[in-house]
Amino acid sequence: MTMHATDFLPPDALIPPARSAAPQRHFPVLFLSDLHLGSRACRDEALLSFLQGHTADAIYLVGDIIDTWLPFGVHWTAAQHQVLAILFDRAKRGTRLVYTPGNHDAFFRRFVGQDMLGIEVVDRIVHEAADGRRYLVVHGDESDVFDRHFPRLSRLGTRIDSGVRGLIGRINRLRARFGLREWALVDRLVKGFNDAVRACDRFEERLADLARAHGTDGIICGHFHKPALHSDHGVDYANCGDWVENATALVETSSGRLLLIDWAAQRAEPVALDLAPADAHMGFAKTAKSI
């Protein structure tokens, strides 16, 4: 039996999204990675509000969009349905969507070179910004030494994380009955573990080398759940971050500048950032970083 990419998606993901009256900001290009739809860890409500408030001419989905390492559909939520529905709807309406699958959604790598309901599936791609700078866009797991050498341990960690989150969720529901505050224990444990694992890992340098090997001015990636935007390694390094431990996205402005937006901080405290004149009308949060 022939398998199609859309066979793996929940049917409800293809329904038109609910319309939102939220004010929208428009960018030429938007980069999102590590949504981990289908997992307990996905910050789906924050992600949904971000997509409802932002549009773009082109959207790059930089891997780990759907988490296929977990039993599919068990942790799927209404907000996650809406996220997929918005993305498919925008592709249908003319937004260019480019998808570079990661290790958690490596299932979709078998469809590289194909079109999935208007979404281009590629292994990697070179993006040329408005200012002429060229960026290699790739998920980044190929530069992950830990994942490459200990793949079973990585998968086990994902299942343990999901199980602990489920347990803490039940405890928090019980605490809520007694008017107690929620525990944020899992997020602190996961962040602490990831920080410890990555502390001596020179993954940014390996990804910078990958950009140079492709003759580009920089790299745009995800995977490591470490949002970053700098040129410390001789090329531009832009990590979109994630929607599990963080709530970050990368955007390109009309002048070709890259901006890293911390959506969680921005929703809490929107403050205008001093930008170049061509971009000054957009009113970014002070938490946005740029190169």
Q: Kindly report, residue by residue over 179-216, the tens digit of the pLDDT.
A: 767 666 656 666 666 666 666 678 999 999 999 999 99
Q: How confident is the model at residue 270 (pLDDT cuts 50, 70, 90)?
A: very low
Residue 271 has what pLDDT? 32
Q: What is the per-residue burial (b if ≥16 Cβ within 10 Å, else e) of 57-88?
A: eebbbbbbbbbbbbeeeebbeebbbbbbbbbb
Q: Is the confidence at residue 22, as pLDDT, over 60?
A: no
Q: Is the confidence at residue 78, as pLDDT, over 60?
A: yes
CB neighbourhood size of 248 (10 A): 30
Q: How confident is the model at residue 241 (pLDDT cuts 50, 70, 90)?
A: very high
Residue 94 has what pLDDT? 96
Instruction: For residue 242, report the phi and psi dihedrals to the nearest 5 degrees.
Output: -165, 175
Residue 53 has what pLDDT? 93
Residue 176 has what pLDDT? 62
Q: How confident is the model at residue 15 (pLDDT cuts 50, 70, 90)?
A: low
Residue 69 has what pLDDT? 79
Residue 11 has what pLDDT? 54
- What type of residue sits at position 221? C
Average pLDDT, the chain: 80
CATH classification (class only), 27-147+194-290: alpha beta
Q: Give the torsion through C-alpha atoms of 265, 269, 274, 280, to 10 deg.
A: 100
Would you say 69 and 229 are in contact if contact means Cβ atoms under 8 Å apart?
Answer: no
Residue 168 has what pLDDT? 60
Instruction: For residue 268, report the phi and psi dihedrals to the nearest 5 degrees.
Output: -80, -30
Domain-by-domain residue ranges, the chain? 27-147+194-290
**Cα–Cα dist 121/111, whole Å:** 6
Residue 211 has what pLDDT? 97
Residue 202 has what pLDDT? 86
Higher pLDDT, 58 or 71: 58
Going from the C-alpha of 114 to that of each of 58, 89, 271, the distances in angstroms are 18, 18, 41
Residue 281 has what pLDDT? 32
3-state secondary structure the chain: CCCCHHHHCCHHHHCCCCCCCCCCEEEEEEEECCCCECCCCCCHHHHHHHHHHEEEEEEEECCCCECCCCCCCCCCCHHHHHHHHHHHHHHHCCCEEEECCCCCCHHHHHHCCCEECCEEECCCEEEECCCCCEEEECCCHHHCHHHHHCHHHHHHHHHHHHHHHHHHHHHHHHHHHCCCCCCCHHHHHHHHHHHHHHCCCCHHHHHHHHHHHCCCCEEEECCCCCCEEECCCCCEEEECCCCCCCCEEEEECCCCCEEEEEHHHHHHCCCCCCCCHHHHHHCCCCCCEEC
Residue 91 has what pLDDT? 96
When pLDDT is averaged across residues 24-31 and rounded to a whole number, the result is 94
Residue 179 has what pLDDT? 73
Q: Does pTM surpass 0.85?
A: no
**Cα–Cα dist 98/86, whole Å:** 15
Residue 282 has what pLDDT? 36
Phi-psi region of 256 (alpha: psi -120 to 50; beta: other; left: phi over 0): left
Tell me the pLDDT tens digit for each residue of 114-151: 998 899 999 999 999 999 999 999 999 888 766 665 56
Q: Is the confidence at residue 268, as pLDDT, over 90?
A: no
